[in-house]
Amino acid sequence: MDLAARIREMILRGELVPNQRLVELDLSDEFGASRPAVREALRELTGEGLVERVANRGARVRAVGFEEAIEIAEARRALESLCAGKAAEVVTDDEIAELQALGVAMEEAVAGGDRERYAAKNREMHDRVHEISGQQTAINLIRRLRDQNVRQQFRLAQKPGRPNVSIVEHLAIIDAIAQRDRTAAERAMALHLDSVIAAMHEVYEQTGLERAARDAAAS
């Protein structure tokens, strides 16, 4: 794994948090890499929207605000709907069986209350739909957008009852693709992302209420 990929993974896992400074010397020591190599890795991650450079302060992990997070989710809605529709047109019998098996695994994870397994299978299902579609330009854009929104995705995954809602949406996507119905697949994916966006609003509003309550209690 190259240096940019290693730093990227630390950001996506939450080991490096939003607004945290990324000091070239510290990263050079940690990874045993040269300063120019670290500088180039940070330049690459800046291009991906994961890192930003601040005048006279160097680099830091870029924080994505709520409004931007919604814009990112809306862009994903368009791209993922495209992929779902294309997948419905070209999916093979073996790929249908694979998606349906993923649907069963997701149902089992929800029934067992296994959030981590559900999240993993959720991502795997989306990735397989993307791969089946063959839309490489859309796939590259989706990956960049999803990485930028990783913390919003984590908060959403912790929302009580969310897996019970999203499993129904995912099964509808799988069913539409299995029926090779492009229009239905596009619609099912769009409805799923609409639900994601609505849930993001709910989490954001609840977080604001909780913060206000803590501030009131401390005053």
* CA 166 and chain centroid, separation: 14
Spatial distance between the Cα atoms of 40 and 52, rounded to a whole number of angstroms: 13
| Structural domains of the chain ordered from first start | 3-61 (1.10.10.10), 66-215 (1.20.120.530)
**What is the pLDDT, as a whole number, of residue 218?**
44
At residue 15, φ and ψ (nearest 5 deg) are -75, -30
**What is the pLDDT, as a whole number, of residue 154?**
63
Q: Is the pTM of this model over 0.85?
A: no
Strands 51-54 and 21-22: unpaired
Contacts of 161 (CB under 8 A, 6+ apart): none
- Contact 81/193 with Cβ under 8 angstroms? yes
Per the DSSP assignment, residues forming a β-bridge with 58 are 54
* CA 211 and chain centroid, separation: 25
- Contact 150/94 with Cβ under 8 angstroms? no
Q: What is the pLDDT of residues 170-209, one digit of tens each?
A: 999 999 999 999 999 999 999 999 999 999 999 888 876 5
Q: What is the pLDDT of residues 12-33, one digit of tens each?
A: 888 888 889 999 999 999 999 9
Q: CA 70 → CA 192, 199, 201, distances in Å? A: 14, 11, 8
Token representation of residue 148: 């930028």
**What is the pLDDT, as a whole number, of residue 219?**
42
**What is the pLDDT, as a whole number, of residue 108?**
97
